[in-house]
Amino acid sequence: MSRRRNCHDNVVAESFFNLLKRERIRRRTYKTRAKARQDVFEYIKMFYNPERRHVRNGMLSPIQFERQQEMSTDGV
């Protein structure tokens, strides 16, 4: 990881920060650093992880994807 001149090392992090900036931070002004941190925390914990639809999950949210996986393994 983090090898010089290897653009693929940070693809996941770069993608996440791009989405964070585009979906949450741009066009917002925070009065304090604490409010900015709280807003970013809420985005990650309350929206990005449980609700946001991801292409790799077949456009399902992580919670929907987990439920689908549980249902498919229950029958086995």
Domain assignments of the chain as residue spans, ordered by start? 11-74
Q: Are 54 and 60 in contact (CB under 8 A)?
A: yes
> Is 0.75 surpassed by the pTM of this model?
no
Query: How crowded is the C-beta side of 53, counted as CA atoms within 13 Å?
Result: 4
What integer pLDDT is reported at residue 30 of this predicted model?
93
Contacts of 3 (CB under 8 A, 6+ apart): 9
Could you read off the pLDDT of 33-75 as tens digits, one per residue?
999 999 999 888 887 777 777 777 788 888 888 888 888 876 5
- φ, ψ (nearest 5 deg) of residue 54: -115, 140
What integer pLDDT is reported at residue 35 of this predicted model?
95
